[in-house]
């Protein structure tokens, strides 16, 4: 099966194939608006013209540099694995610069190491606020994409639609008949966490439901367990949405210890669809991010920059999917 051709890019962008060629070769006599339109079409189609030949001409390697926090958290780890697989399919190797903290110094050092090895472009998995300033201060002209980064900053960004996923999870509980939904949130400095809080609040507002106090946590089962111990003591709680599945696991343990049954007494929805979620007792209803789609979109956006030599604040949001299992039911009358 052949990939998209230059004529496909031209058709989508509404220009001639000669114009696409001029954009690819960095010709100066192309209007900025046209160049951005062609670049967007290249990103959308995943078009890549003979990258190996261009690498020989430019001296650029077939290596993508990735900057990621050294973590075992399911979301970032899954994204990294998907990026490596997708890059291999495009003929690129991945060099991972792991950092302990996503602060300015750590990210800058990791990027400098990648640039010293003449990587073709850089992907930064930047889900926390501390990464934002560092990204804005990176050298100009470096092909760069952030994944799960700050939506307010003008850098190319690909992200899971956290707001839509949380909104769907909360509406699913409300549609089961619950008057409101309590939320156990992730860490306050994570964009994923902020987006899921926003989606939860939107769903409650759409349904005209009261907004209960937020239950702040981290991403761990232990943190979920502590929140679950408080929620289990509150007779008004009938539905809980947790910001990830590990929090849900901790909540499940606490509810079990207090003699609360899921979903008979309390309904529960998580987020991430970790591989173990289908084997919780009961099997957990959760939201599944499409990490493969995020990786594909990130690489396409990066390769479009590499080929055109342009940047721009292009961004793409990937919708997650609700996975309904056995942890949601109607409230007890």
pLDDT tens for residues 15-24? 987 788 778 7
Sheet holding 315-318, edge to edge: 93-99, 63-69, 121-125, 144-147, 157-160, 315-318
Give CATH 3.40.50.2300 domain extents, the chain. 63-160+291-319, 162-289
The residue with greater pLDDT, 25 or 219, is 219
Give CATH 1.10.260.40 domain extents, the chain. 6-49
pLDDT for 310: 63
Neighbours of 41 (CB within 10 A): 22
The yes-or-no verdict on residue 315 having pLDDT over 70 is yes
Provide mean pLDDT across the span 270-296: 96
Cα(279)–Cα(149) distance, integer angstroms: 31
- pLDDT bin (cut points 50, 70, 90) of residue 56 is very low
Q: Give me the half-sphere count of Cα atoms (radius 13 Å) on the Cβ side of residue 40.
A: 16
Neighbours of 256 (CB within 10 A): 14
pLDDT for 52: 44
The yes-or-no verdict on residue 319 having pLDDT over 70 is yes
Provide mean pLDDT across the span 285-291: 96
pLDDT for 226: 98
Cα(146)–Cα(294) distance, integer angstroms: 11
| 259 φ/ψ sector (left φ>0, alpha ψ -120 to 50, else beta) | left
**Residue 240 phi, psi dihedral angles, 5° rounding:** -130, 135
The structure tokens 């439901």 sit at: 209
**Domain 63-160+291-319 listed as CATH 3.40.50.2300:** yes
For residue 183, what is the enclosing H or E element?
Answer: strand 182-185
**Domain at 6-49, CATH homologous superfamily:** lambda repressor-like DNA-binding domains (1.10.260.40)
Three-class secondary structure assignment of 21-88:
HHHHCCCCCCCHHHHHHHHHHHHHHCCCCCHHHHHHHHCCCCEEEEEEECCCCHHHHHHHHHHHHHHH
Of 70, 79, 67, 72, residue with least CA distance to 220: 72
pLDDT for 1: 47
Of all residues in the chain, the percent with pLDDT exceeding 90 is: 53
**Domain at 162-289, CATH homologous superfamily:** Response regulator (3.40.50.2300)
* Lowest-pLDDT choice from 4-8, 80-84, 251-255, 307-311: 307-311
The yes-or-no verdict on residue 222 having pLDDT over 60 is yes
Residue 214, token pair as written in the block: 């937020």
Q: Who's near 145: CB < 8 A, 6+ residues apart?
A: 121, 122, 123, 124, 156, 157, 158, 298, 301, 302, 305
pLDDT for 288: 97
Length, in residues, of the chain:
333
> For residues 324 and 285, is the Cβ–Cβ distance under 8 A?
yes
pLDDT tens for residues 132-189? 777 777 777 788 899 988 888 878 899 999 999 999 999 999 999 999 999 999 999 9
Best-predicted range by mean pLDDT among 92-101, 148-157, 276-285? 276-285
Cα(297)–Cα(42) distance, integer angstroms: 11
Residue 242, token pair as written in the block: 């947790």
The residue with greater pLDDT, 132 or 73, is 73
The yes-or-no verdict on residue 120 having pLDDT over 80 is yes
């Amino acid at each position: 099966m052949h990939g998209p051709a230059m004529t496909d890019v031209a058709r989508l962008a509404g220009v001639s194939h000669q114009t696409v060629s001029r954009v690819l070769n960095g010709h100066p006599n192309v209007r900025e608006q046209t160049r951005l339109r062609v670049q967007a079409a290249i990103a959308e189609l995943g078009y890549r013209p003979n990258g190996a030949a261009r690498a020989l001409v430019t001296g650029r390697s077939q290596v993508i540099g990735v900057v990621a926090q050294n973590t075992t958290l399911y979301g970032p780890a899954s994204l990294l694995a998907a990026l490596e697989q997708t890059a291999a399919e495009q003929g690129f190797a991945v060099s991972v610069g792991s950092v302990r903290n996503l602060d300015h110094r750590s990210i800058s050092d990791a990027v400098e190491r990648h640039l010293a090895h003449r990587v073709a472009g850089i992907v930064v998995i930047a889900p926390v606020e501390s990464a934002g300033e560092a990204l804005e201060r990176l050298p100009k002209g470096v092909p760069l994409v952030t994944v799960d980064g700050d939506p307010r900053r003008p850098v190319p960004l690909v992200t899971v639609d956290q707001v839509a996923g949380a909104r769907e999870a909360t509406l699913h509980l409300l549609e089961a008949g619950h008057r409101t939904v309590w939320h156990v949130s992730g860490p306050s400095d994570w964009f994923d966490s902020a987006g899921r809080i926003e989606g939860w609040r939107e769903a409650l507002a759409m349904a005209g439901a009261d907004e209960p106090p937020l239950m702040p946590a981290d991403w761990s089962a232990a943190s979920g367990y502590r929140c679950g111990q408080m929620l289990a003591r509150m007779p008004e709680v009938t539905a809980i949405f947790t910001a990830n599945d590990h929090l849900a696991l901790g909540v499940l343990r606490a509810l079990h210890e207090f003699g609360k049954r899921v979903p008979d007494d309390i309904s529960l929805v998580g987020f991430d669809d970790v591989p173990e979620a289908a084997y919780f007792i009961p099997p957990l209803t959760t939201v599944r991010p499409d990490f493969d789609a995020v990786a594909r979109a990130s690489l396409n956006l990066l390769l479009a920059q590499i080929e055109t030599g342009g940047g721009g604040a292009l961004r793409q949001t990937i919708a997650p999917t609700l996975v309904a299992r056995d942890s949601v039911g109607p409230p007890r009358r």
